Amino acid sequence: MWFELRYVEMAEVVVLLDLSISPFGSRVRIALAEKGIKYEYREEEVKDKIILNKSSLLLQMNPIHKKIPVLIHNGKPICESLIIVQYIDEVWNDKSPLLPSDPYERAQAMFWADFVDKKIYDCGKKIWMNKGEEQEPGKQELIECLKLLEGELGDKPYFGGDNLGFVDVALLPLHCWFYAYETCGNFSIEVECPKLVAWAKRCMERESVLNSLPNQNLVYDYILQVRKRTGIE
């Protein structure tokens, strides 16, 4: 019995509370896959395709925000997607580093991930939560922001250099939303930002990414449901 207890203590128990369509959850999934970490995936229930039916475990583990994703590592919860990704990088530091080791480079990576968080999702929302002329400011701002990111990418294959890094993980899930933005907004992101779209395609060739992201049609379906529910469509 003592021997059994010791075995359990030594094993890492990792649980992810998530929703497959969530871009924030996807970030954590990509990080876990890049590091080859085994974990139990728990999908939160959804009513009517869009309303989250929050499990008691979620409410217990994230009482402040009551949101996914939540990583539970050996019983202890970590919340907020980028904080979780940083935690994963620090704990499982033996392979596939996501953040650079140089403090200045690390600060730059955190800056651009923060930029993605502050700007991209909100710009996209301004597009799909509106219609017609009201979408224009969102479209313009999104393209401006994506062009800035293209500038940061430069000629590197990934934002992280030769391998996936923190900024790649932060931005990639939002790429699944591009199809929805383009269809709702009737414009092409690829025409404006070909380098960024090429980067996304390159990333999608990696199994860790492919298996972690929802299908863009599912994302579009979700957005249509929200537009119908809020009376935009």
Q: Which is nearer to other proteins, 103 or 154 (CB)?
A: 103
Query: Residue from 13, 107, 191, 210 that binds other proteins (CB under 8 A)?
Result: 107
Residue 106 binding other proteins, by CB under 8 A: yes
Total count of residues recorded for the chain:
233
CA 23, distance to chain mean position in Å, is 4
Cis peptide before 97 (omega within 30 of 0): no
Q: Which stretch binds other proteins (CB under 8 A): 100-108, 135-143, 185-193, 219-227?
A: 100-108
Residue 114 binding other proteins, by CB under 8 A: yes
Query: Residue from 35, 73, 139, 175 that binds other proteins (CB under 8 A)?
Result: 73
Q: State which of positions 173-232 bind other proteins (CB under 8 A).
A: none
Q: Which is nearer to other proteins, 25 or 185 (CB)?
A: 25
Q: Which stretch binds other proteins (CB under 8 A): 41-49, 85-93, 163-171, 201-209?
A: 85-93
Residue 73 pairs in a beta bridge with 14, 76
Q: Closest distance between other proteins and the C-beta of residue 179, in Å? A: 26
Q: What share of the chain is helix, strand, coil (3-state, %, to 5)?
A: 60, 10, 30
Query: Residue from 43, 100, 115, 204 that binds other proteins (CB under 8 A)?
Result: 115
What sign results for the dihedral spanned by CA atoms 25, 31, 33, 39? negative
- Print the SS3 string covering 148-159: HHHHHHCCCCEC
What sign results for the dihedral spanned by CA atoms 49, 50, 53, 59? positive
Q: What is the phi/psi pair of residue 129, to 5°?
A: -90, 5
Residue 95 binding other proteins, by CB under 8 A: no
Binding site for other proteins (CB under 8 A): 64, 73, 76, 78-80, 83-84, 86-87, 90-91, 103-104, 106-107, 110-111, 114-115, 148
